[in-house]
Amino acid sequence: MKPERKLAIVTGASGGLGLEFARLLAKDGYDLVLVARSEAKLRDVAQSLSGQYNVEATPVALDLARPDSAGELARVVPRCDVLINNAGFAGHGRFDRIEESSVSEELELDVVTLTRLTRKYLPAMIERGSGRILNVASTAGFLPGPFMAVYYASKAYVISFSQAVAEELRGTGVTVTCFCPGAIATGFADRAQMHQTLLFRLGSANAPTMAEAGYRGMQRGTLVVVPWPPTNWFVELAARLTPRRVLLWFSRKAVEVEER
């Protein structure tokens, strides 16, 4: 990394939102550390961004669903100026029928690693008096989520955690932004096998547009970013105003694909 450049870490950077965040950062002149499981994809992304934007892009192949993966990353990359906690996945199905190992991996990746990475890099940001953290949640975090119970609960954690830490950091020069998009056409939906759900049949946003909204919100230091379209804002409002049983029915119908 060149001394005059700031360094950004992006998790889940091999595709989807992560790739788009990395592209926006590179365009703004940040050197990059790109983290995901797929080494081959990361190398291709790093090479492409380096060539197009004349920045240094370092691929780090790491399974962030493993315990202490945050510590391993912090040992390899001891500092950063921007941290984008984007990596995550969703289990889909009735909770008692999901493999316990999958539940553990989902919690480790969506909750524990995000929390630990924030804790690893935050002290140095505070000491420097500057830094940006973007935690990717979802409009799912505003709702209970039958058939995606762990994912919805995990994103509720991310929303609450991000806002609390952001308030603690008031006046330090460091900001935490929580990004809450709705359905997006990425590999996330493929892994969760959600394309046949009502949520995705009603339409999904494209990753570049959503990443732009989250990225600009982060750079402004916005506390919570709920992007266009207006249906996302409706979900946030409905979660506060709708009777709980009605909300549960709506949430279930959005993602249900199996019979009880």
Q: Catalytic residue positions?
A: 151
> SS3 for 7?
strand
Residue type, 59: P
Distance from C-alpha of 164 to C-alpha of 158, rounded to nearest angstrom: 10
- 3 state SS of 148: coil
For 87, phi then psi, to 5°, come to: -60, 140
Largest CA distance in the chain: 58
C-alpha to C-alpha distance for 115 and 118, rounded to whole angstroms: 5
Asked if 15 contacts 24 with a C-beta cutoff of 8 angstroms, the reply is: no
- Please give the helix or strand (H or E) that residue 249 lies within, else none: helix 244-255
| CA 10 – CA 32 distance, rounded (Å) | 7
CB 136 within 8 A of CB 214: yes
Q: Which two tokens stand for residue 64?
A: 């962030």
Tokens encoding 133: 């953290």
Going by C-beta distance under 8 Å and a sequence separation of 6 or more, which residues neighbour residue 195? 189
